[in-house]
Structure 1
Amino acid sequence: MTDCGCEKARRDLEEYLRSEVCKTSEGEIREHLDNCPSCRDEALVATTLTEVVARACKEAAPEELRDQVLARLRTAAAH
């Protein structure tokens, strides 16, 4: 397999991390990440950021905040 290079690896990184690239590109990008510390670090940052955002989206707002937002929405809808 031929190393795809930094430009391609970085261009397709998000799709690669979501398993949305073809198998050929996936192998090339994986090989590149295995051999390029800079791109591997970028992939780690992207993976970590995605995981943190996903966790934050699962958190529920405090009940008091929820009640305040709903009250304001009701007030706005009444006008």
Structure 2
Amino acid sequence: MTDCGCEKARKDLEEYLRNEVCKTEAADIREHLESCPGCRDEALVSRTLTEVLARSCREAAPEELRDMVLSRLRAEHTVAG
């Protein structure tokens, strides 16, 4: 394993965080993140954003909001069609 450097680590960071790189590349990126505070911080931000977005996608909109949006869509469709 060798430290892959900032450019490679940042280029492949999203794939690395989703476990979409081969084991060798993952090991190289992991090694780099362990020794580079800047890239490690970027990985933390990316991981946190991904987790927050995933959580928010599981939340349901209030029924009242859903009804309002559907009503407006129907009204727009009637006007346009």
User: Matches of 1:23 and 1:57 in 2, distance apart?
Assistant: 30
Residue 77 of structure 1 deviates from its aligned partner by 3.1
Residue 50 of structure 1 deviates from its aligned partner by 0.5
Q: How many equivalent residue pairs?
A: 79
State the superposition RMSD in angstroms.
Answer: 1.0
User: Matches of 1:24 and 1:63 in 2, distance apart?
Assistant: 48
4+ aligned runs moved over 6 Å, structure 1:
none
Q: How does 1:32-47 map to 2 (within 5 A)?
A: 32-47=32-47
User: Matches of 2:15 and 2:73 in 1, distance apart?
Assistant: 37
Farther-moved stretch of structure 1 (67-76 vs 4-13): 67-76
In the alignment, what sits opposite 2:18?
A: 18
Residue 56 of structure 1 deviates from its aligned partner by 1.1
For residue 55 of structure 1, what is the amino acid of its counterpart? R
Residue 76 of structure 1 deviates from its aligned partner by 2.8
User: Matches of 2:6 and 2:52 in 1, distance apart?
Assistant: 25
User: Matches of 2:20 and 2:54 in 1, distance apart?
Assistant: 18
Scaled by the length of structure 2, the TM-score of the pair is 0.89
For residue 37 of structure 1, what is the amino acid of its counterpart? P
Q: How does 1:1-79 map to 2 (within 5 A)?
A: 1-79=1-79
Secondary structure in structure 1 of the residue aligned to 2:21: coil
Q: How high is the sequence identity, in percent, across the aligned residues?
A: 73
Scaled by the length of structure 1, the TM-score of the pair is 0.92
5+ residue gaps in structure 2?
none
